[in-house]
Amino acid sequence: MQKNTTNSITERIGLAFSGIPLAAEPLFEIAGLTITNAMINAYIAVAFFVLVALVSSRRKGIVPKGIHNVIEALVEFAMSEIQKVTEDKKKTRVFLPLVATIFFFVLFSNWLGLIPGTGSIGIWEMVHGQLELVPLLRPATSDLNLTLAIAVTAIITTHIAGVAYKGGFMHFSQFVNIRGIVLAFKKGPMAVVIALVEFFIGLIEIIGEFAKTLSLSLRLFGNVFAGEILLHVMLSLLAYVLPVPFIFMELLVGIIQATVFAMLTLAFLVVATMSHDHGDDHEEDHAKDKKLEPEHA
């Protein structure tokens, strides 16, 4: 009897794992564009924030009331947290739209995937010769296409910010050290060797940019997708009481993942807009100090 119970539980867990495909399932096409169940959740999130923007733009009084008070409190909280990292009010205002949008969009998408019916309400279709349930809704952030798109947008924006703050020549010199090589020929052979070393380090930095993109996208996708599998397993074992603690855990995971994604994007923005001329500045300061030294007869 115990063996049969164990086999039954194993079969349920196996069905739960097999019931969640890695890729989002296509539902229909519009003008040749395939719409997946993950895209439906993403469109719902976009529609929600468009509605919030419309509501917030219709504020009439100087003192916020009701929903406007909540929106202003959230914006002020986001600005204060970003300010702690940038320590610059100007940069805070510039970085706020991207960082806050990523945080709230990822958070809302994560939580939207926990609404009852997501992943369980759908249509039965023949897939690879077997009858399978294709859910109408799937958490948007459990689709690698979406998380990769957000990560690419974030990394590209860091480079745009770097060019805007430091100039294209200075920004891209940290990847291909053109400036260092040009200046090295004026300083001597040792400086040329150092410039060549820095050139190869810059090539590693280019690889690092691709690694950042993959890390951001895969971390979010992996955590959300793993959470979906966990909830399916718990629901397959006991549908009523057992999944409740795990749902609360996924609420916490949703906040953590949104915070990590947004804060890493902010950190990349801050690093991209920092000056990297410390070596040259040090040499200039050293030269000025030398001029100020008293001459001895």
Q: What is the pLDDT of residues 89-104, one digit of tens each?
A: 999 999 999 999 999 9
Residue 8 has pLDDT above 50, yes or no: no
What is residue 240's predicted lDDT score, i.e. its pLDDT? 73
> Cβ-count burial of 199 within 10 angstroms (0-12 exposed, 13-18 middle, 19+ buried)?
middle
| Predicted TM-score (pTM) of this structure | 0.80
Instruction: Tokens 């459990």: give the residue.
Output: 142
What is residue 281's predicted lDDT score, i.e. its pLDDT? 44
Signed CA dihedral, 217, 219, 224, 225: sign only: positive
CA dist 280 and 43 (Å) reads 49
CA dist 266 and 262 (Å) reads 6
What is 125-168 written as a DSSP string?
EEETTEEEEEES---GGGSHHHHHHHHHHHHHHHHHHHHHHH-H
Q: What is the pLDDT of residues 71-89, one digit of tens each?
A: 888 999 999 999 999 988 9
Q: What is the pLDDT of residues 16-45, one digit of tens each?
A: 444 567 788 888 888 888 899 899 999 999
What is residue 277's predicted lDDT score, i.e. its pLDDT? 52
Q: How confident is the model at residue 204 (pLDDT cuts 50, 70, 90)?
A: confident
> Cβ-count burial of 41 within 10 angstroms (0-12 exposed, 13-18 middle, 19+ buried)?
buried
Selected residue with higher pLDDT from 13 and 65: 65
CA–chain centroid gap for 118, Å, is: 23
